[in-house]
Amino acid sequence: MRVLLDECVSEGLRNYLAGHDCQTARYAGFAGLENGQLLTAAETAKFDVVLTVDRGFEYQQNLEQRKIAVIIFCGKSVLLEDLLPLVPVCLAHLESIESGQIVRIGGE
């Protein structure tokens, strides 16, 4: 699965997503793009999933007609150490997530 880490996600998270082609938004050339633009750019670049910590993402974007999925990490904070406990659940979702889906991982 091709996974794009949103700018607000710790770049170190990519090291914990073994078995997936994972890039950061900055590395992919998408730095500074707003959410809608980011989704369009990610789709054009053939990414399957965007990982973000932006809890409002699902309320700002309609993925119904999109060819990409979004996973939202809802950790205690956006620090890598607070996101790592959510990685096993993320990896499980990456096995079955489909285009147009938004999945929240963690609690609020």
Tell me the CA end-to-end span of the chain in Å, nearest whole number: 27
Domain region containing 84: 2-105
Rounded to whole angstroms, the Cα distance separating 11 from 24 reads: 6
What confidence tens digit (pLDDT) does each residue in 45-98 have? 999 999 999 988 878 887 888 999 999 999 999 999 999 999 999 999 999 999
Q: For the domain that residue 35 is a member of, what is the CATH number?
A: 3.40.50
pLDDT at 25 over 60: yes
Task: Tell me what percent of the chain is helix, strand and coil, each rounded to the nearest 5.
Answer: 30, 20, 50
Strand, coil or helix: what is 22? strand
pLDDT at 108 over 80: no
Note if the pTM is more than 0.75. Answer: yes
Nearest of 19, 24, 42, 15 to residue 99 by alpha carbon: 42
- Pairwise pLDDT comparison (107 vs 47), residue with the higher score: 47
Quote the number of domains for the chain.
Answer: 1
Q: Could you tell me what percent of the chain has a pLDDT over 90? A: 81
Residue type, 102: I
